[in-house]
Structures are given as structure tokens and as C-alpha cells.
Amino acid sequence: MKNKKFITLGFITVTLATTLLFSTNLFAAPVDKKESKESSRLESLAKFTKVISIVERYNVDNVTIEELMDKALNGMMTNLDAHSNYLTQKDYKKLKVQTNGEFGGLGITVGIKDGALTVIAPIEGTPADKAGLESGDIILKINKESTLNMTIDEAVSIMRGKVGEPIDLTIVREGEAKPLAIHIVRGIITIESVYAKTIGDNILYIRVTSFDKKVATDVSKEIKKREATTKGIILDLRNNPGGLLDQAVDLVDIFVDSGNIVSQKGRDEADEKTYSASKSKTITKVPMVVLINGGSASASEIVSGALQDHKRAVLVGQNTFGKGSVQVVLPISESEAIKLTIARYYLPSGRTIQAVGVKPDIEVFPGSVNSKKNDFSIKEADLKKHLQEELVKVDGNLSVKEENEALKEAKKDIITPEMMDKDIQLKESVDIIKALIIVKG
């Protein structure tokens, strides 16, 4: 019986406590969410300040408060994503030099992929390209310094230097059993972003190596120059690391006359923009093939993805790199800044590029065409009494040497069958564009 009273008494006590708690909550003033958020921020800042003070006082090395703040800011920014970082006075100055001045470098675009410093693409004609660096190469060491936990900007800072100075890279390449040592001599990076050649009588091949401020204008010129004879276009964006967004939009606009090209969406509505095509800028509607690979990034992915979504071109090659984010440089003082990711790019269909890339319609791996000559086959020309071909005589006063030089000069703007045999992706593109021209009639 005593136990029973105890149980009852205990139950009443708990019930009264619960009721009292409920009543207290019922009549308590509602907590202001804004006030709660501000309190949380103050607590977080206090914790940060406390940690800084403890490290400054007890760390084994004598680190100044300025150095600790730089390390803290750098750690915070690099942990946001692979493209955000804190720019110290030295870094910010280098960025300005890169943007506005001439500098010595290797001619490669790099990114962080799966935690490793990776070559997105070597820029055509640069020291890196001539030394044999390839898209997808993982850089293990720069000179003798390991790239483990190295940021993109730190790596670029080391690789950039005086023209003529050598640098050694240790890389890992798919298919190679051992790391490769590549010796490169820095040079001035001057890039020809657009060049065009013809294939056969009616195919225009346009190579865009990067998106500088004249890409759309230069491509337009090349198309208009050969407008009368062009029945198909091959746009080569392989190993193109990207560049200016407005040039990517304007390039798509040359081929697409309506609809969205790309949109960017961020947390802030002010950062949300949609770029659309206009009929007045469209100059051609001939069939197209776009060449892409793992070195096609950023602006290249916007162009190829938009043309694919509009069903304006057939994409041939390999999956692109997958960089679909927007970065801005925001000064925090006259000499320091942060580079921050503020938005993501989205293609006309609404799909994202970020970490996914653009998938080709027809996947073709790089390599040469495997062709064998049959020396035992007999053709009409081998028959004893075959009809002779009609010979065309050309009257002229050119010497043999002059004729050879003229032929050599003419071939600069022509892609020959022999050249295509060395590039199976291009050969496949030519076959596809020929089929599209036949279908269009």
C-alpha cells in the first residue's frame, strides 16, 4: 500500500511539473527569430575570437595575429568550394597582373578534381602544349613541392614566373605505369583564340581555343568569308578551358535565333540572370557538329550544352569537365580581396553543368584511324586498255618552286584526309556533317 501511494504521489509530481512547464511556455514572451539569429552570430564570433587567442598564446611557433587571420580566412574560403579563396595582398596583385598585363607562364588551365590538382586543358601553341601536357593529367609536384592540399591560386602562383625560366612538373597520366617528369620553359602566353580551315568543298572547320573578348566577332568573320560555299560547320571546342561568359552567349547567338542560352541562379535574386538569343544576331542555319572532350570547360560547356538543348548541333567526343559555377572577385580592402562562388549556370533545358559536364551525343575516344591499304586489289586504272583520264592543261608562268610554295600556302587553310586520319574524333565529325548535309539536301 505504501508503494501504491508512492507511485501515485510520483505521478502527481511529474504531472504538476509538466503542467507548470507548459504554463510557463504558454505565457512566456515569443522569442524573436531575428534576435535569436543575432545572438547565434555573436556566440560564433566569440568562439572564433577565443580560438584565435588560444592559438596565438599557446601555439608552439610564434604566429602573429595577422598571420592567424590570413590562415583562418584562407581556410574558410577554400572549404566553401574548389573555386573560392582568399586573396592576400600578394595574390590580389598577381591577379591584377594576370588580368591587365603580360606575364610569363606555361599556358595551362588547372582545376581541383577529386581533390587533386588537374590539368583542365593546355592552351594550344603554348609551352605546356609543346611539352606534351594533356587534359586530365594530375600534377603531383611543381618542381619539388607537393601539390597535396595546395589551392589553385597557390599552384598558379608557383607556375607563373619570368619568361625563359624553367620549371619541372611531375604528373600522373591515365595509362602510364609511372609518374612522368615534364620539363617546361616559361614563355609569354599569347593566344590565337579562333582560326578556321576548310574540309573538302563545303565544310568549314572552326577551332576556338579560349573565350577572349573577340571570339564571337572572329567566328562571324570566318563564317561570312566562306558563306557562299559552306554547307556544314564543325566547331572544335576540345581543350578549351573557357573564358568570358558574354562571348559564349554571343557565339551561341550566331547559330540560334530564339530561346534561352544560359541562366545563372544564386542565393541572392540579384545574381539571377537569363541570357537569351536574338534573331538579329543569327547568321547561319547550316548543319553543325561540335567537338568536345574532358578539357572543354566553363564557357565551352555553355556553348556545347546550349546548342545540344536547342537540337542545333550534334556533339561528338567525350564528356566535358563539369565547371558550371560563377565566381566574382570582391575587394575587402585596397590591397586584399576574396574570390567567391555566387551562382551556378543552368542550360536551356534546366540541367546543370556543375560536376556533371555535358555528355556528347556520339562518344568517340581520341586516336588515329586504323586503316590498312590493300596492295593486291585491282582497279580500272590497273587494266591494260583502260580509258585515259582527261588531262587539264594550265597555262602559266610559275616556276616549279613557286608552284610548290603556292600549294603549301593554300594547304595552310585546308584539312587534308591525311590530317583527319590522325584524329579519329574529327574524322567521325566530318562523316556526320556529310550525312547531315545530304539529309538537309
The 10s digit of each residue's pLDDT in 330-341 is 999 999 999 999
Using the 3D structure, point to which of 345, 363, 381 is the last residue of a domain: 363
Q: Looking at the domain assignment, is residue 408 inside a domain?
A: no
- Same domain, residue pair 206 and 180: no
Taking Cα atoms as reference points, which of 239, 250, 242 lies closest to residue 282? 250
Q: Is the pLDDT of residue 118 over 80?
A: yes
The CATH number linked to 287 is 3.90.226.10
Q: Identify any residues that bridge with 248 across adjacent strands, giving them in sequence order.
A: none
Domain that holds residue 107: 103-188
Cα separation, 114 vs 116, whole angstroms = 6
pTM of the model: 0.72
Q: How confident is the model at residue 213 (pLDDT cuts 50, 70, 90)?
A: confident
- Output helix, strand, coil percentages for the chain, rounded to the nearest 5: 40, 25, 40
Residue 160 included in any domain:
yes
Task: Give yes or no: residues 169 and 202 share one domain.
Answer: no
Contact 120, 295 (CB under 8 A): yes
Domain count, the chain: 2
On whether the CB atoms of residues 218 and 247 are closer than 8 A, the answer is no
The pLDDT, as a whole number, for residue 192 is 78
The alpha carbon dihedral of 46, 47, 53, 54 has a sign of: positive
pLDDT at 225 over 80: yes
- Confidence label for 18 from pLDDT (cuts 50, 70 and 90): very low
Last residue of some domain: 348, 363, 378? 363
Indicate whether 286 and 231 sit together in one domain: yes
| Stretch 130-145: mean pLDDT | 94
Calpha distance 432→409 (Å, rounded):
28
- Whether 230 and 354 share a structural domain: yes
| 3-state SS, residue 159 | helix
DSSP 3-state of 392: coil
pLDDT score recorded for residue 382 = 63
- Phi, psi dihedral angles at 355 (to 5 degrees): 65, 5
pLDDT in tens, 56-108: 999 999 999 999 999 999 999 999 998 899 999 888 887 776 555 456 789 99
Whether 223 and 308 map to the same domain: the answer is yes
Asked if the structure places residue 419 within a domain, the reply is no
Could you list the beta-strand ranges (E) of 89-212: 104-105, 108-113, 116-122, 138-142, 145-146, 166-172, 180-185, 187-188, 194-199, 203-208
Buried b (16+ CB within 10 A) or exposed e, 184-223: bebbebeeebbbbbebeeebbbbbbbbbeeebbebbbebb
Q: What is the pLDDT of residue 180?
A: 96
CB neighbourhood size of 368 (10 A): 11
Q: Which residue has the higher pLDDT, 104 or 378?
A: 104
Cell of 141: 609536384
Question: How many CB atoms lie under 10 A from the CB of residue 386?
Answer: 10
Residue 433: is its pLDDT beyond 50?
Answer: yes
Q: Higher confidence at residue 429 or residue 19?
A: 429
Q: Is residue 376 part of a domain?
A: no
Same domain, 355 and 319: yes
Kindly state whether residue 72 falls inside one of the protein's structural domains. Answer: no
Q: According to the model, what pLDDT value does residue 115 have?
A: 86
What CATH number did the domain enclosing 127 receive?
Answer: 2.30.42.10
CA 325 to chain centre: 10
Which residue, 335, 363, 391, sits at the end of a domain? 363
Asked whether residue 227 is domain-assigned, the answer is yes
When pLDDT is averaged across residues 116-137 and rounded to a whole number, the result is: 91
pLDDT band at 123 (very low <50, low <70, confident <90, very high): confident
324 and 248 belong to one structural domain: yes
Look at residue 272 and tell me whether its pLDDT is greater than 60.
Answer: yes
Q: Are 184 and 199 in a shared domain?
A: no
Query: Average pLDDT in the 294-302 region?
Result: 95
Q: Is 94 inside any structural domain? A: no
Count of helix runs (H) and strand runs (E) in the chain = 12, 19
* DSSP alpha helix (H) spans, 295-393: 299-309
In a domain, 342, yes or no: yes
- 212 and 277 housed in the same domain: yes
For residues 152 and 227, state if they share a domain. Answer: no
Could you give the angle at which helices 33-58 and 65-78 cross, rounded to 10 degrees?
Answer: 130
Looking at every residue in the chain, the average pLDDT score rounds to 85
Identify whether residues 205 and 161 lie together within a single domain: no
Specify whether 223 is located in the same domain as 156.
Answer: no
- Average pLDDT in the 245-249 region? 94
Does the pLDDT value for residue 157 go beyond 80?
Answer: yes
Does position 224 have pLDDT exceeding 70, yes or no? Answer: yes
Tens of pLDDT along 390-432?
444 444 555 555 555 555 555 568 999 988 998 999 999 999 9
Tell me what pLDDT residue 230 has: 97
The pLDDT assigned to 420 comes to: 92
pLDDT at 3: 46
**Given a cut of 50, is residue 388 above it in pLDDT?**
yes
State residue 9's pLDDT score.
Answer: 31
Which sequence positions are flagged as catalytic? Answer: 298, 309, 323
